[in-house]
Structure 1
Amino acid sequence: MNATTQTPHKTSSLKKVMRFAKTYRSRFIWVIVFSIALSLFAAARPYLLKQTVDLYLIKKDHTGLLYYIGLMGGMLILEVAAQFYFVYWANWLGQDIVKDIRERLFAHISNFRMKFFDNEAVGRLVTRTVFDIESISKIFSQGLFMIISDMLKMLVILIVMFVMNWKLTLVVLLAMPLLVIATRIFQKKMKGAFEEVRTQVANLNTFVQERVTGMKIVQLFNRENIEYEKFKVINKKHNDAWQKNILYNSIFFPIADIISSLTLGFVIWYAGISILNLDPITEPGDMFAYLMFVPMLFNPLRQIADKFNEMQMGIVASDRVFELLDMQGNTQKNGATAAWHFKGELNFENVRFSYLENEEVIKGINLKIESGQTIAIVGSTGAGKSTIINLLNRFYEIDSGRITIDGTDIDHFTLDTLRRQIAIVLQDVFLFADTILNNITLNDPTITREKVVQASQAIGVHDFIMSLPGGYDYNVKERGVMLSSGQRQLIAFLRAYVSNPSILILDEATSSIDTYSEELIRNATDAITKDRTSIIIAHRLATIVNADTIIVMDKGKIVESGTHYELINRDAGYYKNLYYSQFAVETEE
């Protein structure tokens, strides 16, 4: 059935991120407490400096001067401690929230239908799961809490400044609207720049991931220069996106510095004139205090723009992450019944399926497989052979009809228990960059090394594994590149065997392998198909002559069925023509 992707946007991404912070409420509160403490300490130091100048420095009171210097030193130590805990806890909180979101996203993606992965670039998913989620941590470590802390600091400083000298404070406030306007313009420009950067990062990751994975094809067909030129174009777009970011930063921060410096100079001039004119409101200590106050007021305002950028980058990244998390139409439907060991009776009842709407691949299949029976499915490329296997494992949802195992619709089973009872050996075996043992057990703690060794001896692959350096602890590297295709197939057979499935599927598992590996695989096939329902999808018809039933498919339909000898003796039969044409080709070779 064609699923419609649903991506609701009723709740902002920032609110969704904050929901993950509820788990860490106490830590969140402590970050706010330290933020308040920082604002109080920041405002206290200039005030203490004013008191030191007016009460003790001008009056040459050495005892009072030393006392206040010690007081300022103690205040500085407390501010440093508060700063440490504020930064540490804010980053700690951000990383824990990122961890939770990443786990939720990975679990969510793991439950997507295969149709989603057919249409989505792997590089983009990697960008969402790794880079975008890491950017979300900046909402807390570099964005939200820093902005809250700076705003509190500015508010407390303004209050203290008004209490100390309202005239000088008004002079300072005259310049602030210019900085606020510049900050606002900068923020809007940076939002668009960050969105473009994230888009180009995803495109770059996708391109590199695909070309590195398919490097053998690139080199075999002499595509190095062509792919290099493509990479240069994508890399240039990525560079251009960052250049906008750099340009806006290069314009804004000098302007902010000029405004701050001019304001500071004007304050010094105004305070100096007031002191010389013996203005009763302005004291010498005010000038020293405001030399500290103005940078403390303007720097946070200037940095807020930069921190808004960090938070904006996190929010843009969270938009992309939650776009995936909000996709409900792509998730697989789960049943409620646990699937225990099957007898293995399969029944396809008028099953229809299409990958694309109105383009049926399976056209009303009816097929019954008895418990313990071995059947083979043959046909030309695109006949729908592998699609039947995908439907049985519920990688895709059928358009109509139903598939049952032991009389129960497979939709009623939970996905994990259903797939635990079905083992598949594919033609293109995927191995992880890990040991042979871990590739066989897939880190299932219930499958011990002893069980693996016994299973490998039972199907005749133990000697092959022990011939490798390190035996079962041999690392096959990424995608199993250290092994031949036949050796990878043997590992896949053993992986299927140790899982003790009720139903076994061999999908083109004996094609494109050497003679030695073929003999081992034939023996392994006999061992693992014994006494269990087995489906063999075969390209080489000589490998399935002993199947209980052979199903012949063409263009999504079953056109023939029977034993090898029944089909080979059928006049003008599809299987007969297919068999003899393949036999003739193999004879010529």
Structure 2
Amino acid sequence: MSDRILTEEEKAAQQRRGAAGAAQRGGPPHMRMGQPGERSRNFGPSARRLLGLMREDRIGLWAALAFALVSVVLNALGPRILGHATDLVFEGWAGSKFPAGMTQEAVVAGLRAQGENDFAEVVGAMSHFVAGQGIDFGALRSVLLLALALYAAASLLSWAQARIIVQIVNGAVYRLRRDVEAKLNRLPLAYFDSQPRGELLSRVTNDVDNIGQSLQQTLSQLITSFLTVIAMLAMMFWVSPLLAILGLVTIPVSIGITAVIGKRSQAHFVQQWKSTGELNSIVEETFTGHGLVKVFGRADAAQAAFEAKNDDLRGASFGAQFISGLIMPMMMFVGNLNYVFIAVVGGLRVASGSMSIGDVQAFIQYSRQFTQPLTQVASMANLMQSGVASAERVFEVLDAPENVPERSGVLGFGTRGEVDFEHVSFAYDPQRPLIEDLSLSVHSGQTVAIVGPTGAGKTTLVNLIMRFYELNSGRITLDGTDITELTRHELRSRIGMVLQDTWLFEGTIGENIAYGKPGASDAEVRAAAEATYVDRFVHSLPDGYDTMLDSEASNISAGEKQLVTIARAFISDPSLLILDEATSSVDTRTEVLVQHAMAALRSDRTSFVIAHRLSTIRDADLILVMEDGRIVEQGSHAELLAARGAFARLYAAQFAGALEESA
């Protein structure tokens, strides 16, 4: 959770940046709902990059490949052995039809003499014909046991290969989630300003999950299918080169069908996951502002927006699944035609004595096992396309420009809290400068209040101190050290921040206070609570510091939440403190406690206070009045009132407005 400050002037800048980004993407989300999704830019390179996630497990991949290879070879030998068993049965049956003692040549000659030339060709092609013997069940049993052993070993190796692949895929997805999380921490805040929160959440959750599911369901099958096609093709040429050549006709037909249908379905898969992200964005925004939606009677409009995007998602999902689902029946149709063709030609070759019945049976099995993996790969095209579409969305996050690289840091960095702005210039939009040539010196222990109209640059000023954004020119120093010479962690570890919008996580009150200082003892937590008046209301709670706060901290009041955030900043003992109008959302009685708590927090440390209630900054050492990114006045409260300038006008307008409302 980022501790940045965001107020009116930055929101306006956000809108400008968001509009620019939306223009590049085709308009803001609500204007783009009906537009078709982008095509996958580079399926091949994206798929290779996705497979590259498993590079660290290359040993496991080689092991899985070896297991798959042996398993496929054993499976490929099975039909050949079963074909030999068929020959034993048929030859035994044929032998039982003739008197014992007759030679195979005599039987063939007798059949030809009777005009049964086809049967004579079949008997003449038999390799183990013995007249009058019948079926050799001993030999048949040995052959069947061998086939059973081969199939059992193949199944065991296939199971081991699948298990290894599952472990590899889970490891790759784990590393991908880790890399995405680390990437999010390195991205500048400008990136988050231009991305809808729900869309970003969808990329790092739904899309990553889809990548894992796609890899698990396709990778093992792809390896096995590829090896099976090669093995079956080799066995087909071994059994009958002529029939093998005829069977190869299905390959270009299968590839053509898959390519045509896959090309049409890819755009729908991209749109499906894009619509999923936009739908998540609508849901997240609606439920985050649920109270406002109800207050302003916008529930119907929110429901309509949801239904429109849900319809888009349904249409994209239907198109993707329906079009890609055509692959399987089309491939089965081609495979069945091939099966019939081979059966007819094989039967004619048996009748001519060119092949045995067992060879034809084995070849038909090989042809089925040859077309089956092609059909399976084609049917998995929808999963592969969906996974690659999600991978591209995740890779866009991983490839986004990061923060300016950090330097190694400064040893012996001071903790006095002196801040200097030296000719600082900054703009969110290069065409609209916000801060130009600003110079300012703040001494250690001073309390500096920053006031001014909306959009003047108050929040931007403190955000630049925190390095939430990088300067266009000039520099800012902390205790004489350029903040760009420090790592962001070193810089921010010396700065405490209390925001106008409180943020507490689900946990105990004690844990929320200790968040400001990892490893803080119970005594330190209690001391911080007592100094910031948290201890006064904690004792009234049933479980004291062990009271659990829900995700919204709705079981304590707004003022109590603010006091906890002040205690959290207090326990971190910062050398520099930034306060964003921490009393604006509390009642007058609680405001007094918050003011006292902030006074304790500001003691003996440099403080920047963004103020909207001018009455709360009377005791500030220095008040800066900003307009259009420039400091137009500075001085104490009394000096600025006496000068009758910009501050006096703001002060008079604020209190005049209050008097008019009370009249």
What's 1:302 paired with? 375
2:432 is the counterpart of 1:359: yes
Out of 500, 524, 547, the position equivalent to 1:474 is 547
2:601 is the counterpart of 1:528: yes
2:646 is the counterpart of 1:574: yes
What whole-Å deviation, never above 9, does each CA across 1:351-390 have from its counterpart, x for those lacking one? Answer: 2211112212223322211101112112222221111110
CA distance in 2 between counterparts of 1:314 and 1:563 reads: 62
Q: What amino acid is the match of 2:650?
A: L
CA distance in 1 between counterparts of 2:68 and 2:337 reads: 29
Write out aligned runs for 1:104-119 (5 A): 104-119=179-194
What's 1:430 paired with? 503
Larger CA deviation: 386-395 vs 576-585: 576-585
Q: What amino acid is the match of 1:318?
A: A
2:171 is the counterpart of 1:96: yes
CA distance in 1 between counterparts of 2:597 and 2:232 reads: 79
SS in 2 for 1:558: strand
Structure 2 unaligned residues grouped into runs of 5+: 1-16, 22-40, 93-134
Tell me if structure 1 keeps the 8 A contact 2:328–2:378.
no
SS in 1 for 2:507: coil
What whole-Å deviation, never above 9, does each CA across 1:234-291 have from its counterpart, x for those lacking one? Answer: 111111111212321343322222222232233333333333x2423x2121243234
Tell me if structure 2 keeps the 8 A contact 1:253–1:302.
yes
What whole-Å deviation, never above 9, does each CA across 1:384-403 have from its counterpart, x for those lacking one? Answer: 11111100001011222211
CA distance in 2 between counterparts of 1:424 and 1:96 reads: 38
CA distance in 2 between counterparts of 1:61 and 1:341 reads: 96
2:341 is the counterpart of 1:266: yes
What's 2:70 paired with? 37
What's 2:403 paired with? 331
CA distance in 2 between counterparts of 1:424 and 1:325 reads: 29
What's 1:133 paired with? 208
What's 1:279 paired with? 353
Tell me if structure 1 keeps the 8 A contact 2:457–2:626.
yes
Residues 447/213 of structure 1: CA separation in 2 closer, same or farther (3 Å cut): same
SS in 2 for 1:360: coil
What's 1:219 paired with? 294
Deviation at 1:66, TM superposition (A): 2.3
Deviation at 1:478, TM superposition (A): 2.7
Tell me if structure 2 keeps the 8 A contact 1:91–1:137.
no
What whole-Å deviation, never above 9, does each CA across 1:489-541 have from its counterpart, x for those lacking one? Answer: 11211111111111011111111211332122122112111111111111112
Residues 408/42 of structure 1: CA separation in 2 closer, same or farther (3 Å cut): same
Write out aligned runs for 1:304-453 (5 A): 304-328=377-401, 330-338=402-410, 340-442=413-515, 445-453=518-526
Larger CA deviation: 319-328 vs 379-388: 319-328
Tell me if structure 1 keeps the 8 A contact 2:162–2:220.
no
Out of 190, 193, 197, the position equivalent to 2:265 is 190
Q: What amino acid is the match of 1:40?
A: V
Residues 301/542 of structure 1: CA separation in 2 closer, same or farther (3 Å cut): same
Structure 1 unaligned residues grouped into runs of 5+: none
Q: What amino acid is the match of 1:170?
A: I
Tell me if structure 2 keeps the 8 A contact 1:143–1:308.
no
Residues 444/99 of structure 1: CA separation in 2 closer, same or farther (3 Å cut): farther
Q: What amino acid is the match of 1:348?
A: F
Tell me if structure 2 keeps the 8 A contact 1:338–1:418.
no
Out of 612, 616, 619, the position equivalent to 1:546 is 619
CA distance in 2 between counterparts of 1:262 and 1:566 reads: 96
Tell me if structure 2 keeps the 8 A contact 1:480–1:488.
yes
Between Structure 1 and Structure 2, whose CA radius of gyration is higher? Answer: 2
What's 2:8 paired with? none
Larger CA deviation: 343-352 vs 476-485: 476-485
Deviation at 1:139, TM superposition (A): 5.8
CA distance in 1 between counterparts of 2:610 and 2:257 reads: 67
2:42 is the counterpart of 1:14: no
Tell me if structure 1 keeps the 8 A contact 2:425–2:436.
yes
Deviation at 1:233, TM superposition (A): 1.5
Larger CA deviation: 290-299 vs 504-513: 290-299
Out of 68, 80, 83, the position equivalent to 1:50 is 83
Deviation at 1:163, TM superposition (A): 0.9
What's 1:84 paired with? 159
Deviation at 1:444, TM superposition (A): 5.8
SS in 2 for 1:279: coil
CA distance in 1 between counterparts of 2:557 and 2:490 reads: 32
Residues 177/85 of structure 1: CA separation in 2 closer, same or farther (3 Å cut): same
Residues 449/312 of structure 1: CA separation in 2 closer, same or farther (3 Å cut): farther
What whole-Å deviation, never above 9, does each CA across 1:150-185 have from its counterpart, x for those lacking one? Answer: 111111111112112233333433344322321221
Q: What amino acid is the match of 1:294?
A: S
Deviation at 1:421, TM superposition (A): 0.5
2:318 is the counterpart of 1:243: yes
Tell me if structure 1 keeps the 8 A contact 2:324–2:382.
no
Q: What amino acid is the match of 1:575?
A: F
Q: What amino acid is the match of 1:576?
A: A
Aligned residues: 581
Deviation at 1:302, TM superposition (A): 1.0
2:593 is the counterpart of 1:560: no
Residues 173/486 of structure 1: CA separation in 2 closer, same or farther (3 Å cut): same
Tell me if structure 2 keeps the 8 A contact 1:94–1:139.
no
Residues 77/9 of structure 1: CA separation in 2 closer, same or farther (3 Å cut): closer
CA distance in 2 between counterparts of 1:473 and 1:91 reads: 42
Q: What amino acid is the match of 1:24?
A: D
2:137 is the counterpart of 1:62: yes
Residues 36/470 of structure 1: CA separation in 2 closer, same or farther (3 Å cut): farther
SS in 2 for 1:478: coil
Alpha-carbon RMSD: 2.5
Tell me if structure 1 keeps the 8 A contact 2:239–2:363.
no
